[in-house]
Amino acid sequence: MGTPQLLNNDDFCRRLPILGRSWERESLSPMQLLSRGIEAGLTSESDDPGQDAGDRVMSLAVSRPIETAQSDLLGLAEHTAALADMIVWLLRTGSPWQRPAPVRLGNHLWEPDSFLGPDGTLRRVVLCDRWSEDRATAESFDWRTLEAAIYDMPMTLVVVVLGASRDGRRHGPLSKGYLHPVSQDLRFRKRDGGDFCSTWNTCYREDFKGDREEWLEAMTEDGVLEETVLLHPVEPEESTLREVLVLLAAEKLSRVRSTSALPEPQFQQCFDPIRQCPFRSCCPYFRMPSETNGFLRVPAPHPATAQETTWYYRPRA
């Protein structure tokens, strides 16, 4: 089965998709924790998908180790759960998000990462500290975005700006605000552009006594909502480039699937400070991942039905 993440892994290091077919790290990063909570909420059948997102985060936090230097693991989990809840509550305006049908890509089954938008186009959620032209360019060449070529459909990136991560918390409007010392009004930005003085109290979403509507209203009034949740359209590739991308994806999948022996290590990639390889604790030292050194077996993928094509390419409310 082919996935955008498999191709991203192959672009990074040819060992990564081979090892990743059978193993994953037992521990989760805070970003993985948040992402899995958001996905659970977006696809939930519940009447309160935001609550489901937060519940998923808390469930994972008590069942899997978390990769963090923070000692307050409960505080980190509650903060992440509150953030997941708020994001899903903002993004889910109707029925559960659905993925497009898997398609046949040459001899492989392509399992999509993106979702179908209400207008019949594709959409994917991008979580980032901040959004910039450089980040937009990088996301455009991510296989999770290039998936649009495989489906020959436009895609919209739903960009969620989280703010900087410090001390186990996100310092952005979705999770952090300020309370007036007397009136307890919630604010995010002073209208004169200055900073809040020391008498204003920092308030994180998980500690806020009000509901989600109050938090959203305050974000809207201070003009930070449109800077926090953005829609970035990605135009479909012209036909010739699209065909090249589809052929490239099929060829890369064939090579990865036919590789049994591990390729040579790429040591510089092992310790990349931006994208941290999950196998860096064992692979560069020529050790295989196992249950005894912090890895879990990846379950076999469930069979899926391919759509025939002509290609060969939580806080509480």
The predicted-structure confidence for 201-257, as pLDDT tens digits, reads as follows 999 999 999 999 999 999 999 999 999 999 999 887 788 899 999 999 999 999 999
Residue 273 has pLDDT above 90, yes or no: no
The span from the CA of 179 to the CA of 46, in Å, is 32
Q: pLDDT for 59-71, tens place per residue?
A: 999 999 999 998 9
Q: pLDDT for 157-204, tens place per residue?
A: 999 999 999 999 999 999 999 999 999 999 998 877 677 878 899 999
Average the pLDDT over 20-46 and give the result: 96
DSSP label at residue 145: H
From the centroid of its chain, how far is CA 236?
22
The span from the CA of 57 to the CA of 97, in Å, is 19
Residue 299 has pLDDT above 60, yes or no: yes
Q: What is the pLDDT of residue 315?
A: 38
| Pick from 316, 302, 297, 141: nearest CA to 215 | 316
Residue 48's alpha-carbon distances to 25, 32, 39, 186, in angstroms, are: 30, 22, 14, 24
Residue 299's alpha-carbon distances to 55, 147, 184, 232, in angstroms, are: 23, 24, 49, 34
Q: What is the pLDDT of residue 317?
A: 41
| % of the chain beyond a pLDDT of 70 | 94
Residue 309 has pLDDT above 50, yes or no: no
* Alpha-carbon radius of gyration of the chain: 21
Residue 10 has pLDDT above 90, yes or no: yes
Residue 316 has pLDDT above 60, yes or no: no
Residues 6+ apart with CB under 8 A from 145: 124, 139, 155, 157, 234
Q: What is the pLDDT of residue 194?
A: 73
Q: What is the pLDDT of residue 180?
A: 92
Q: What is the pLDDT of residue 301?
A: 62
| Pick from 91, 90, 65: nearest CA to 77 | 65
Average the pLDDT over 129-138 and give the result: 95
Q: What is the pLDDT of residue 302?
A: 55
Residue 314 has pLDDT above 80, yes or no: no
